[in-house]
Amino acid sequence: MAGTHFDADGKARMVDVSAKPETVRAATASGRVRMEAATLAAVIDGGAAKGDVIAIAELAGIMAAKQTGTLIPLCHPIGLDSVTVKIIADADLPGLVVVAETRCTGRTGVEMEAMTAVSVACLTIYDMLKSIDRGMVIENVELDTKSGGKSGDWRR
């Protein structure tokens, strides 16, 4: 079995990045939670029983990005320099759009940290609103951009 995450015996391993130069790396990811229009109105009006959905989900996303190396088995623990999570109400969806940006100076990228931030923010939104809308759908969690490192810049 060949590949960067397997040794000569086919066993999983964390990639050795010690020889790579440190560079500034950044990534953005996004996702969304589609919901009933009335559910979105409750978020906007502050009527959710569990509190400020947007503020709590943004914080959950930041906290999750910092835990990526613990949550994803072969991800390196990364000293993040910056994590931002922004949640925007979209009446046309209807629902909430989550965007995360991660940055570090390091030897490996921060794409998984951005996607973990988005995923956990979306899950937090679902958890906080499930009592009024169990039909919500988390969708389109995806990497939008990455920069830095040997492979350079990438944009969806």
127 is an active site residue: yes
Q: Which residues pair with 88 in a beta bridge?
A: 97
Question: What's the Cα-to-Cα distance from 53 to each of 6, 108, 124, 152, rounded to whole Å?
Answer: 41, 32, 8, 36
Single out the catalytic residue among 127, 133, 144, 153. Answer: 127
- The residues annotated with a catalytic role in the active site are 127
